[in-house]
Amino acid sequence: MHVFQTKKEVINWVNSRKKEDKTIGFVPTMGALHSGHKSLMKLAQSHCDEIIVSIFVNPTQFGPNEDFNRYPRTLEADCMLAKEAGVHAVFAPSAEEIYGHSHSKITFSINGLNTHLCGKTRSGHFEGVLLVVNKLLNVVQPHNAFFGKKDIQQCIILQSMVKTLDIPVELVLAETVREQDGLALSSRNRYLSSSDREKAPLIYKTLKASKSSILNRLSVSKVITNAINLLKEKDFLIDYIELVNESDLEPVSEIIVGKSYILACAVYLGTTRLIDNILFKA
């Protein structure tokens, strides 16, 4: 497995693979890899001949009071996991390699899709995501790029970017990978204390129960209020719990048969922010 640190190395490798008519699959990550990432790499193998994974903690998607400096950086272990998963190349650049000495010469504007859910409290986050993913796609120029639905708002915004900018890549979205107790896999799970880890599965359990109540035509606002109160009683700090349309991520107060929805949340246990969601059709 190759480990590249420069864009030029990646471009040369990709060009050599494409000359042999190989299809390129790309899995962008911020490292601290786990089984969820590994499942993306395995999925990429089922679609493409050659797999490249990026490992880059992107500074432009972190706010001033977020955990950029604390975010785990485990490159050696990440490369071992990628190699075990059958990855052919890892791109592990520095911030200077990606951005030079300026992060803000060109920025993205998002209209509407970042108004709710994580976009409401993480100002500038998705603009930073679009910037770095656009740059990475331009370097790697893959046939397919693979993302997990745990970050569902990110996935929908990236789909819109690819369509709007006519980027020649197919995005493949994978189902959320969970622990046996239902907790969605996340690099931030390692921050949880043992007592908080015991509480964390309640997030998904609450979302599932709330979805069932909504499908049984209980009041959406009442269901969400009950979910918030339940989690608060267990020492969760609530960022949001929202029901939104899958199409435009706008909040809804009642469901319509045949339409698709996302019930999503972001909560804190201690100082650890965790997100999860359920997609469903009414």
β-pairing, 50-55 with 89-91?
A: parallel
Is 37 one of the annotated active-site residues of the chain?
yes
222 alpha-carbon distance from chain centroid: 29
Q: Which residues pair with 251 in a beta bridge?
A: 244
49 alpha-carbon distance from chain centroid: 24
> How many other C-beta atoms are found inside a 10 Å radius of the C-beta of residue 46?
8
> How many other C-beta atoms are found inside a 10 Å radius of the C-beta of residue 182?
15
> Distance of CA 210 to CAs 169, 171, 217, 280, Å?
36, 29, 11, 12
Report the amino acid identity of residue 12: N
Among the listed residues 37, 88, 125, 143, the single catalytic one is 37
Give me the sheet containing 272-281, strands edge to edge: 237-245, 260-269, 272-281
**Structure-token match 């931030």, residue found:** 188
Please list the active-site residues.
37
